Structure 1
Amino acid sequence: MLRCQRCQAPIEEGESYDYYGQTVCEDCYIYLLNPPKACDPMAVASALATRQALGQSGTEGLTEVQRRICSLIEERGKVTREELLDLLGLEPRDLERQLAVLRHCELVRACKEGSQIYLTRW
Structure 2
Amino acid sequence: MICERCGCAIEEGENFEWYGKQLCEDCYIGALQPPRPCDPAAVSSAKATRSQLGQRGTDGLTPLQKQIYALIKEKGKITREELARSFELPPWELEKQFAVLRHCELVKGFKEGQTVYLTLMSTEDAAN
State the TM-score, normalized to the length of structure 1. 0.85
Please name the residue that 2:42 is paired with. Answer: 43
Letter in 1 for 2:23: C
Letter in 1 for 2:52: A
Measure, in 2, the Cα distance between the counterparts of 1:59 and 1:12.
35
Measure, in 1, the Cα distance between the counterparts of 2:96 and 2:50.
18
Report deviation, 1:12.
Answer: 5.6
**Structure 1 outlier segments of 4+, above 4 Å:** 8-13
Residues 18 and 89 (structure 1), Cα distance of their counterparts in 2 relative to 1, 3 Å cut: closer
Gaps of at least 5 residues in structure 2 are 122-128
Q: Are 2:6 and 2:27, in contact at CA under 8 Å, matched by a contact in 1?
A: no
How well do the aligned residues superpose, as a CA RMSD in angstroms?
2.0
Measure, in 1, the Cα distance between the counterparts of 2:61 and 2:33.
21
Residues 58 and 12 (structure 1), Cα distance of their counterparts in 2 relative to 1, 3 Å cut: closer
Gaps of at least 5 residues in structure 1 are none
Establish whether residue 113 from structure 1 lines up as the match of residue 112 from structure 2: yes
Question: Secondary structure of 2:78's match?
Answer: coil
Measure, in 2, the Cα distance between the counterparts of 1:73 and 1:94.
17
Please name the residue that 2:86 is paired with. Answer: 87
